[in-house]
Structures are given as C-alpha cells and as structure tokens.
Amino acid sequence: MQKDHSGQIISCKAAVAWEFDKPLVIEEVEVAPPQEKEVRIKIVATGVCQSDLYFLLKCMNKALFPSVFGHEAAGIVESIGPGVTEFQPGDKVIPLFMPQCRECHLCKSPKTNLCVNGSAGHFDGKNFESSRITCKGKKLLQFLGVSSFSEYTVVKELALAKIDPAAPLDKVCVIGCAICTGYGAAVNSAKVEPGSTCAVFGLGAVGLAAVMGCRAAGAKRIIAIDINPEKFEKAKIFGATDVVNPNDHSKPIHQVMVEMTNGGVDYSIECIGNVEIMRRALESCIPGWGVSVIAGWTNMQDISTQPIQLMTGRKWTGTLFGGFKGKDGVSQMVKAYLDKKVMVDELITHNMTLDQINEAITLMKHGQCIRTVLSVSTQ
C-alpha cells in the first residue's frame, strides 16, 4: 500500500538545474499539494529531448534558473486539487507543454493547437510564482509548466492528458513530445498528401517521427537527411526511401534536393533547430506549391530567404507539438501506438534512471542516442 500524501507536501528527488550550462544536481525537493484545478502526479518515466538541452546548455537565458527541466513524460495521478473533474488518483497520464482548455477561442478553432492558457509559444521563464516545487527554500521554475525530471510534479488540469491504462508508461512518455511533434509536423502542419515527395532534415526522435508521419500520409518518396550517418538505419525503419549526408556533397543541400527530385520536394520538414538549414529546407521545395515546416527550435537567430522564394508559391510555416491539440493529440497517438499503427519503442535507444541524467544529457549532446528514457519512480 502506498502512503496517502494528499493535502501534504511531498519530499522527493529531482534533478535540479541551478545554473546555465552546469550539470544537474539530484536534490531533495518539496512538492506542494495541488491547488485549484491542479493535479499532482508521480512521474514514472521521462524522455530527454533536445529542447531540454537547448535551454540548459545553449540559449543563454539565465532567467530560467534554478529550474527543473523535463517535459516528455508519463506518470500517475497522486492527488487532485479542488475543482478538478477530469482526473482521479491512479489515472495514467501524460503532462502537456501545450495545454488544451477546450474553452478559449484558440481551443475552439480547428485552425490551431495554441491555447490562451499558455504554451511553449508564450514561454518566457516567468513562471516561478506558479511553481509548486521548492528546494532549500527557493522556488524552482517548472520548465514548460511540466518539470518531469522530478519524482513528483504539479500541473494544471488543462495541461494533462488521460491515457489508456494499458499503455506502458516507459514507452508512451515519448508521445508527450517527440512523437506528436514530428508525426504531426507531417500530417497536420505540412498536410503531406499521398504520392508526394518529402525531405526530412535532422533524424533525431523528432525527425524520425516526421519520417513516420510522411509514410503514414502516403508519401511515395521520403528523403532523410543528417550529417550523422549512424541515424540512417533507423530512418529506413521509420520509412525513409533515400538517405542523404550533406557532407558527401560539394553542392549545397538544397541544390542536391532539387536535382534528386527534378525541381524540388513537395514537403520539407526541418527538425534540427538551425536557421541555415531552415532556409535550405525551404529552398529544397518545388516552386508553385512546396511547403516547408519548421519543427526545430531556436530563438537565438532570425530566419531569412529571398522574397522570390515565397513569391513563387512556396509556403513557409512552423509547428509546435506537431499542430496537435494537447489532450486530443496525446490520446489519439497513444491509441495509435496500442493499435500498432505508430512505432515508439524503436525511438528509445537507452534506458537509465533519474540519477544518471547527466550521462543521458552527454549522450544526447554528442548525438549518441535517439531517445534516452529515464525511469523516475516505480509505479
């Protein structure tokens, strides 16, 4: 029997990021009980995503510290705050960095997955006040409103998806970011059509999920591009028909794409977070109707291209969480996984524990994994 902590502060382990570009430290933290319309969850498993590394190691935004990172997770509801109607203790859940309140004008529109109640698009590091996690008397920022590098966390009811109790949490955690982002970039944001030709730039978990989305949408040709040839074998498993290493070519990669496809691809998806490659991805598209989707994340540089690239009918767009509305998308993709319609296990190359988080970060930094899933607490 597990102890009932509801209404009380829980002391537990979390990996705390005290400072920018420093190793995380496993600390004892206090997690407050959930307040009005909040839910406290026990994190069972979490993936480590490149976006965690971006904010920890690259983006130089010191206002984000101290914080608890992690946003690609699955867990179990421990207790609920007043006014919570959708969840009960014991429910299996996936926290959402893209909330879905179902009531705002954005949630009511089928045209977007943004919600006025906050999203990664509004992420500005000012959430210390609303954080429920403290360590040594200091509030820790809840990264993207989630903080899954902790045994327990508190999230808003509107930022939590209930999932099928049959779902293995150490696998479906990856649906909480990479799977939805990449797959949705292809099916929702690019709207890939049957018989089309696609190019996916960057073959991490997001890129591989994009390749899988292109295949599910019926693409005839899927060109997978990465400077790390070790990613190619997996790309073929996920549906790539061609693999290209830009370093094997003397011409710029967009010219290689245009020549390989007789004028350009119908759809391209950038899954790296590099503004130069975003431009190459756009310019790989066929004039007239080519669509290029930015899924990779950066806020350090601006994108640029010649206006003629767009005047000739290419379209440039981007995606957060693959355009999936948080709650709907997660339950849809968990169901698709259980029905064996999408692959998730194949993305997970390493399993570790929360204590080994710095090792997991090092693997990702050096491109030596697709996804590492950390076991955070036992069910």
Ligand X SMILES: NC(=O)c1ccc[n+]([C@@H]2O[C@H](COP(=O)([O-])OP(=O)(O)OC[C@H]3O[C@@H](n4cnc5c(N)ncnc54)[C@H](O)[C@@H]3O)[C@@H](O)[C@H]2O)c1
101 binds, among Zn ion, ligand X, none (CB under 5 to 8 A by kind): Zn ion
274 contact, one of ligand X, Zn ion, none, CB 5-8 Å limit per kind: ligand X
Report the run of H or E that residue 371 belongs to, with start and end.
strand 371-375
Question: Cβ of residue 360: shortest distance to ligand X, in angstroms?
Answer: 12
Identity of the residue, 51 or 79, whose beta carbon is nearer to Zn ion in the bound complex: 51
Binding footprint of Zn ion on the chain (CB under 5 A): 49, 51, 101, 104, 107, 115, 177
- Encoded tokens for 261: 């496809």
Shortest Å distance, C-beta 206 to ligand X: 4
Q: Which two tokens stand for residue 280?
A: 């190459």
Binding at 205: pick from Zn ion, ligand X, none (beta carbon under 5-8 Å per type): ligand X
Q: Which residues pair with 352 in a beta bridge?
A: 374
User: Least separation, in Å, of the C-beta of 265 and Zn ion?
Assistant: 25
Question: Residue 245 CB, nearest distance to ligand X (Å)?
Answer: 8
Query: Tokens 């993305």, residue?
Result: 347
CB atoms within 10 A of CB 238: 24
C-beta pairs of 349-354 under 8 Å, 24+ apart in sequence: 351/170, 351/375, 354/13, 354/15, 354/26, 354/46, 354/149, 354/151
Nearer to ligand X, 50 or 127 (CB): 50
Using the minimum distance from each CB to Zn ion, give the nearer residue, 120 or 352.
Answer: 120
C-beta neighbour count of 48 within 10 angstroms: 26
Could you tell which of ligand X, Zn ion, none binds residue 216, using a CB distance below 5 to 8 A set by kind? Answer: none
| Closest residue by Cα to residue 320 from 50, 12, 112, 146 | 112
Shortest distance, position 375 Cβ to ligand X, whole Å: 19
Using CB distances below 5 to 8 A depending on partner kind, what does residue 141 bind out of ligand X, Zn ion, none?
none
89 vs 246, which CB is nearer to ligand X? 246
The residue at minimum Cβ distance from ligand X is 204
Q: How far is the CB of 175 from Zn ion (least distance, A)?
A: 11
Phi/psi at 262 (nearest 5 deg)? 60, 45
Q: How far apart are the first and last CA of the chain?
A: 12
- In sequence order, the 6+-apart residues with CB closer than 8 A to the CB of 109 are none
Q: Which is nearer to ligand X, 202 or 290 (CB)?
A: 202
Partner from ligand X, Zn ion, none binding residue 264, C-beta < 5-8 Å depending on class: none
Residues lying near ligand X in the complex (CB under 6 A) are found at: 49-51, 54, 177-178, 181, 201-207, 225-228, 231, 246, 271-274, 277, 295-297, 319-321, 367
CB-nearer residue toward ligand X: 213 or 273: 273
Q: Which does 20 bind (CB under 5 to 8 A by kind): Zn ion, ligand X, none?
A: none
How far apart are CB 337 and ligand X at their closest, in Å?
A: 18
The binder of 225, among ligand X, Zn ion, none, by C-beta within 5 to 8 A per type, is: ligand X
Is 77 or 373 the residue whose CB approaches ligand X more closely? 373
3-state secondary structure of 184: helix
CB 147 within 8 A of CB 69: yes
Is 38 in a helix, a strand, or coil?
A: strand
CA distance 234 to 246: 18
When the beta carbons of 177 and 179 are compared against Zn ion, the nearer one is 177
Residues 6+ apart with CB under 8 A from 137: none
Query: What are the helix (H) ranges across 303-379?
Result: 307-311, 326-338, 357-365
